[in-house]
Structure 1
């Protein structure tokens, strides 16, 4: 009986310790270093300059010092083997293709992962964001007169001019890109403008935003599926900022995660 009680007490203590431990998650919302179809693209012509390469070394050294154990990247989860192969080529110093070298997954994730041979997980779920219904609705209502009393006619609230990448360092640009102000500005199209598309039982805009949430919820699910609860005490999620803004909503409301701000990491 004493052995049974001791086993139960040990089990309860172990469960309590596990329950109180939170996984630290660094949501590093990024811009795409190479060619991109994103409307708000960022020019990064000096990526391979000595200055920018030193800044990348600085960021990855800080992330490594913070104890990152696993890295999640914006590569479709179905392409994990391709990503692993590319990662191995990079670690061997054989990656010479300038197009591949330009990718933020390589410049940040692979650079960081190589230091301690960290696992890099492809966690994206590629889905087409269909603009056609939005375009059709807009064409259908192009002659409508705006209603000045409509909530959707409120003034655009994000008038603060943010620094361009050419005007600041890479770490400072990332901190700015992941600030509360930038996050809200990034989501405004989905949470405000898109909602204006539709009336009565027509939810064209809501369906558009829902499709983007659906993709990001699948990304979130992919991340949860591949976390090792015993070893992954600190994880890095390197995705486009539009994705990490939504992912943040999910992780903030999960009691087993603690979001670490980039300014804390890069200080």
Structure 2
């Protein structure tokens, strides 16, 4: 028995000494840049200066596209559900051959088109990739419970920062370029990540709002851990987005991926990629300063 234990110990020491070396030798096979947006189509408030089609905002978007162009992505992944891929392919085919303008597309103000389509055309890509997993869950879904003020205060803090900034963009006092670079600063990414994937866990013994937008079945949630259940709704969606992105990269062997999603997705997607040794995260701020 002692002899057997000695052999087991030797095997354990052998493996433990070799495993870190093996992991250290594993090199990333692809780079990933994740750019967070406040959806550009939501800037428009029927005032001319808020419209991304205005001459001024088109110039600002050109500046953004120019800096992302320097990264030279070979795959562009957008926040559209894969079920829409054939429609997006058709629109992109028309746009890339100058048979369709963005203003002719119903949702043409969004970053999917203003940035994704424009970049893909300039880079001569064959398509943009639909990598979202569409689920609609309102921030206001978490409505009550013990410690709800922890979450509400965080939400108010974010709104107090984001709403005035968005208004400045709509009034043309802050450029779209500066807006997007601000949204992608590490402090703001960390704050939004903490707000939706950490703080709600403190909320217990509560209920979800009966009127807030939500497309996910929440009839069987454990109300004792209502905040944790709330986090799981957001996290589950992002895991599926991550899975879509992994599938596309492996299938098409992209080496420089550009992911474009709402800013609240960025922190968790960065977290998932950061612990995957097959990928190297690249900050958009390395190119857009």
- Fold match, TM over 0.5? yes
Out of 80, 103, 111, the position equivalent to 1:75 is 80
Q: How many residues align?
A: 236
Partner Cα separation in structure 2 for residue 264 and residue 48 of structure 1: 27
Task: Assess, with a 3 A threshold, how the Cα gap between structure 1 residues 87 and 153 changes in structure 2: closer, same or farther.
Answer: closer
1:227 Cα offset (Å): 0.6
- Work out the CA distance in 1 between the residues paired with 2:138 and 2:175: 35
Match of 2:265 among 243, 259, 264: 243
Give the 5 Å matches for 1:88-237. Answer: 88-93=93-98, 94-95=100-101, 96-97=103-104, 99-118=106-125, 119-129=127-137, 134-135=142-143, 138=144, 152=150, 163=165, 164-165=168-169, 166-199=172-205, 202-228=224-250, 231-237=253-259
Q: In the superposition, relative to structure 1, how do residues 73 and 155 fare at CA in structure 2: closer, same or farther (>3 Å)?
A: closer
State TM-score, norm by structure 2: 0.70
Matches of 1:258 and 1:67, distance apart in 2: 15
Task: Report if the CA contact (8 A) 1:69-1:231 is conserved.
Answer: no
Farther-moved stretch of structure 1 (120-129 vs 154-163): 154-163
Question: Whose helix fraction is larger, Structure 1's or Structure 2's?
Answer: 2
Cα distance in structure 2, aligned partners of 1:52 and 1:69: 26
Greater relative contact order (CA < 8 Å, ≥ 6 in sequence): 1
Contact map agreement 2:33 2:283 (CA 8 A) in 1: yes
Contact 1:74 1:122 in 2 (8 A): yes
Contact 1:47 1:53 in 2 (8 A): yes
Q: TM-score, normalised by structure 1?
A: 0.75
**CA 1:44–1:208: 2 relative to 1, 3 Å:** farther
In structure 2, the gaps of 5 or more residues are 1-22, 206-221
**CA apart distance, 1:130:** 7.0
Partner of 1:263: 285
In structure 2, relative to structure 1, the CA distance for the partners of 1:131 and 1:228 (3 Å cut) is closer
Distance of 2:49 and 2:235 partners within structure 1: 28
Give, in whole Å, the separation in 2 of the partners of 1:32 and 1:161: 16
* In 1, Cα distance between equivalents of 2:139 and 2:175: 35
Distance in 1 of aligned mates of 2:49 and 2:270: 26
Cα pair 2:197 2:235 within 8 Å, conserved: no
- Residue 66 of structure 1 corresponds to 71
The answer to whether the Cα contact below 8 Å between 1:28 and 1:244 also exists between their aligned partners in 2 is: yes
Partner residue of 1:45?
Answer: 50
- Cα drift, residue 254 of structure 1: 1.1
Q: Structure 1 residue 129: deviation in Å?
A: 2.4
1:124 Cα deviation from its structure 2 partner:
0.6
Q: 1:228 to 1:153 in 2, by over 3 A?
A: closer
